[in-house]
Structure 1
Amino acid sequence: METSLVFFSQLNMCEPKEKTFFKLIHGSGKGDTSKEAKIRDKEKRNRLSLLVQKLEFQQDILSNSSGHLAKETRISPEEAVIWGESFDKLLSHKDGLKTFTRFLKTEFSEENIEFWIACEDFKKSQDPQQIIRKAKSIYEKFIQNDAPQEVNLDFHTKEIIARSITQPTLHSFDVAQSRVYQLMEQDSYMRFLKSDIYLDLIEGRPQRPTNLRRRSRSFTYNEFQDVNSDVSIWL
């Protein structure tokens, strides 16, 4: 889908916002002291303020993305090639795990890797109370029906975990973790190896900003692009 760009000839983002507002609001040089004119001027200032805030928000996003990408480019093509040898080698590499997680976020499925990581951490628990606390947390976050990050498990596996959650062991989630691992290995990992995120790394190209399909609760730059760009709505 093509995106139309509209340029405001009056709007110079290099100038202070106050100066920009003055040009747009008072550029005609006509004096109008009526009450209606004052109300219109106030509305103009509010709308222009929103416009500038959204543009500044975009600049902040691009700046943060640039910093993030600078870190990603430190991964050498040789390291990335090793990730393609097996799924286990990908997950055992710190940067590989981070990169794969970033890929899963573009597919709405980061709960799978987060569940796998939580299980790995859980199996390192030693204190009995810690085992119970972490097991309950994993169950409520990933396993139970309508969990905030519910992973895709069959009914039988969920039932076994539910019955044992009051007296969990370090192996309570082994079956579930294995199923999620296989799902990622046979499905998500295959797509990851064909993704731009991975191909850019092995070919030594700069990483591109990740296009997340999940929308934030707050506004995003993509939402701003959908706003009616007719200059008349701002003036």
Structure 2
Amino acid sequence: METSLIFFSQLNMCEPKEKTFFKLIYGSGKEETSKEAKIRAKEKRNRLSLLVQKPELHEDTLSSRSGQLANETRISPEEAVIWGESFDKLLSHKDGLETFTRFLKTEFSEENIEFWIACEDFKKSKDPQQIIHKAKAIYEKFIQNDAPQEVNLDFHTKEIITRSITQPTLHSFDTAQSRVYQLMEQDSYTRFLKSDIYLDLIEGRPQRPTNLRRRSRSFTYNEFQDVKSDVAIWL
């Protein structure tokens, strides 16, 4: 019977067996110390890297804030006063639309203005396939039940859109857009004119941080039965 011999080059036959076994299982103390030193060195490099990046991060943040401030201060009190003349004048002005959208976000009701903007864009569509694609996107985002940004519409209006969405036209959302316009004009717009966001602008004061408030109770179409629908303004 032959006996196989296994040689361990790293063994020192002069060392005690316990010490030799410990080296085989755990490695030498020098190797462990070397690994720990490498880990500590890596951690130091990471910390130094963060320290180097911090000024750049601050610069980016300051740049972003400066850009927002510049956007706010370019609006003159005279321009802001015009927005108070009518809701239509507010929406027809680029800065007015952006400021009103910012106000709606503080009330968590920005889906109304986003739906209105989407409808305005939809009516500019030319290609039939583009009309179908955009109509479906608007329906899924704003109209259908449990849509991610569902707008407050009466059942009859939603039902008409649902039945016609397979063959949409450029006027498929006219009634719904008019309803949402009325809701914003009679509800959100009146509060906007009394808000700090607007009053600071017409007084030429620096913009203060905006506070989020609970969503107000939105009016439904039934509360506007006496308001005549002016769909023609969108044509």
User: Could you tell me the TM-score, scaled by structure 2's length?
Assistant: 0.65
Hey, what's the Cα distance between the residues in 2 that align with 1:22 and 1:124?
79
Is contact 1:115-1:142 (8 Å) kept? yes
Structure 1 residue 234, shift from structure 2 partner: 59
Structure 1 residue 233, shift from structure 2 partner: 61
Aligned pairs, number:
235
Query: Mean alpha-carbon deviation: is it higher for 138-147 or for 59-68?
Result: 59-68
Hey, what's the Cα distance between the residues in 2 that align with 1:45 and 1:169?
61
Show structure 1 runs of 5+ residues with no match. none
In structure 2, relative to structure 1, the CA distance for the partners of 1:116 and 1:218 (3 Å cut) is: closer
In structure 2, relative to structure 1, the CA distance for the partners of 1:4 and 1:92 (3 Å cut) is: farther
* SS of the residue 1:32 aligns to: helix
Structure 1 residue 119, shift from structure 2 partner: 0.3
Q: Deviation digits for residues 146-205 of structure 1, max 9, x if unmatched?
A: 111110111111111000000001110011000000000000000000011101110111
Is contact 1:69-1:209 (8 Å) kept? no
Hey, what's the Cα distance between the residues in 2 that align with 1:231 and 1:5?
97
- Percent identical among aligned pairs is 90
In structure 2, relative to structure 1, the CA distance for the partners of 1:213 and 1:67 (3 Å cut) is: farther
Is contact 2:153-2:221 (8 Å) kept? no
Which of these two proteins has the greater Rg computed from alpha carbons?
Answer: 2
Query: Mean alpha-carbon deviation: is it higher for 51-60 or for 162-171?
Result: 51-60
Hey, what's the Cα distance between the residues in 1 that align with 2:79 and 2:29?
63
Is contact 1:48-1:234 (8 Å) kept? no
* SS of the residue 1:55 aligns to: helix
Q: Deviation digits for residues 46-80 of structure 1, max 9, x if unmatched?
A: 99999999999899666633430221110110000
Runs in 1 of length 4+ with deviation above 6 angstroms?
1-60, 214-235
Structure 1 residue 212, shift from structure 2 partner: 4.2
Hey, what's the Cα distance between the residues in 2 that align with 1:2 and 1:230?
105
In structure 2, relative to structure 1, the CA distance for the partners of 1:232 and 1:132 (3 Å cut) is: closer
Is contact 2:78-2:202 (8 Å) kept? yes
Is contact 1:161-1:172 (8 Å) kept? yes
Is contact 2:106-2:211 (8 Å) kept? yes
Hey, what's the Cα distance between the residues in 2 that align with 1:81 and 1:13?
95
* SS of the residue 1:7 aligns to: coil
Is contact 1:54-1:224 (8 Å) kept? no
In structure 2, relative to structure 1, the CA distance for the partners of 1:146 and 1:233 (3 Å cut) is: closer
Q: Give the alignment of 1:158-173 within 5 angstroms.
A: 158-173=158-173
Query: Mean alpha-carbon deviation: is it higher for 57-66 or for 188-197?
Result: 57-66
Show structure 2 runs of 5+ residues with no match. none
User: Could you tell me the TM-score, scaled by structure 1's length?
Assistant: 0.65
Hey, what's the Cα distance between the residues in 1 that align with 2:16 and 2:225?
23
